[in-house]
Amino acid sequence: MSDCFSLEDCDVIGFDLDHTLCRYHLKETCILIYESFARFLVEHKGYDKDLLNVTPDTWDFCFKGLVVDLEEGNLIKLAEDGTVLRATHGTRSLSTEEMIKTYGPKRQWKHFNSLNTTFTRSAKYYFYDNYFDLPGALLCARVVDLMKKKGKEVTPEFWKDMVAAIDHNYNTSAFREDSGWYFPSVKRDPERYLKSCPDSVCQWLRNMKDRGKVLLLITSSHSDYCRLVCEHILGKDFEDLFDVIITNALKPGFFSLIPHQRPFRTLVNDVESGTELSCLNKRGWFSQGNWPHLYDLLKSLTSKQLPKVVYFGDSMRCDMFPAFTFAKWETIMILEEMEGGVVKDSSQSSASNKGPAEKKGKFEEGMKAPSAVSQQWGSYFVDVQTDEAGQEQHTLTWCCSSIHKYSSVAIPSVESIAALPLNFQFMRFSKAQSCTRGYYPSPPHSLLKRAES
């Protein structure tokens, strides 16, 4: 495989929608999602109303890449070899001694191999790797806090209520029925939550199409929500930008459920038809489906037996791992954490957060961006801890090593490369090269520091 990667060499260029082509106002969106989940627990499951009250500094806990260890009731941050780097029980950080007591002298998490090789979820753990469920990590921790406060035993049973909250808010019929809290809020005020694509991105998409590239949009969002988002970020004529649009793709199953793949279905007024399509034979808008049938269509559209596909996405579980592993596509990961800043001094943080917090999370001042470095959890890419000799140890996280393994390149946003010529040569990730390689336009600060150390 070449050391470099270029879009010019690709016949087909595919995109995920949410947090990939569409960037969200993360603070507003995370507040909405947290409230949506919390209100469900309070109003439908009888949980304490205190879950609805969140102070700005509490959001430092929100950190992409955490795993819920449901057997222990802990949230954990993992190293690339499965070592537990940091852990909390509820929102309380565990000491080294407590982690050793729970996970043994080597602090090795016993389910790591299962997660690391499949990226699936199970009854024993849950992996937070996208901004749509990330606020659930904070809510999950606060539920554990409340259970401990009331002297209740923390068992995996509470997780069923968390899953029910997610299902209630993201059900495929929720947009049409105006149910839950998430979709009604976005429908009322899309400007508050969605960032419009700059003209440079729209022109970039048109230029690629003019150069003969086949453009795909593959999203797990339902067609009605996809339409709202695309019209807001790309304009009313967004369908002209893509050769094929696939909604309700149900990733990662779109890539991984071979040979029991779901068939494609057509849509009429954003409602799936009952007729299954045995194959795709034309451009258009479809629902569900699978990558082998899509790939057959791509062969026809490109007049090539083995068209080269690249796919942009933000989720390791739903985009990078399955597209790379099963479809053998090139993958480019959208990683807003690359824009995250350096950890602020805690005294400065607390000083800026004085004053009473408003109820139900309606605030902005003092709230950390969910993609920024966390005081409690550290960097998404590298964990820095001091050993007994007083030396800093810079450990690559499991999330970071996964990016290097299953992505060709990582970028903070599509916008960051829209002005580049199509034949621009990106340095791709490589096991034999530095851990700073593969990031454009520059490596994260924490990786640069690790390389220096």
Mean pLDDT of 114-136: 94
pLDDT above 80: residue 247: yes
pLDDT above 80: residue 263: yes
Mean pLDDT of 93-109: 97
Across all residues in the chain, what is the average pLDDT? 92
Could you give the C-alpha distances from 74 to 64, 67, 120, 210, in angstroms and in order?
15, 8, 19, 51
Q: How long a stretch of residues is the chain?
A: 453
- Opening angle at CA 104, ends 100 and 105, nearest 5: 75
What are 1-13's pLDDT values in tens digits? 789 999 999 999 9
Catalytic site residue from 3, 9, 11, 16: 16
Q: How far apart are CA 360 and CA 381, in angstroms?
A: 31
What is the pLDDT, as a whole number, of residue 116? 97
Give residues with Cβ within 8 angstroms of 40, minimum separation 6. 164, 165, 168, 169, 180, 181
What are 21-77's pLDDT values in tens digits? 999 999 999 999 999 999 999 999 999 999 999 999 999 999 999 999 999 999 999
pTM: 0.93
Catalytic site residue from 9, 11, 18, 314: 18
What is the pLDDT, as a whole number, of residue 424? 98
What are 381-419's pLDDT values in tens digits? 999 988 878 888 999 999 999 999 999 999 999 999 999
339 vs 406, residue with greater confidence: 406
Contact between residue 429 and residue 438 where contact means Cβ atoms under 8 Å apart = yes
pLDDT above 70: residue 347: no
Does the annotation count 243 as an active-site position?
no
What are 189-230's pLDDT values in tens digits? 999 999 999 999 999 999 999 999 999 999 999 999 999 999
pLDDT above 50: residue 361: no
What are 63-88's pLDDT values in tens digits? 999 999 999 999 999 999 999 999 99
Does the annotation count 240 as an active-site position?
no
Confidence of residue 353 (pLDDT cuts 50, 70, 90): very low
144, amino acid identity: V
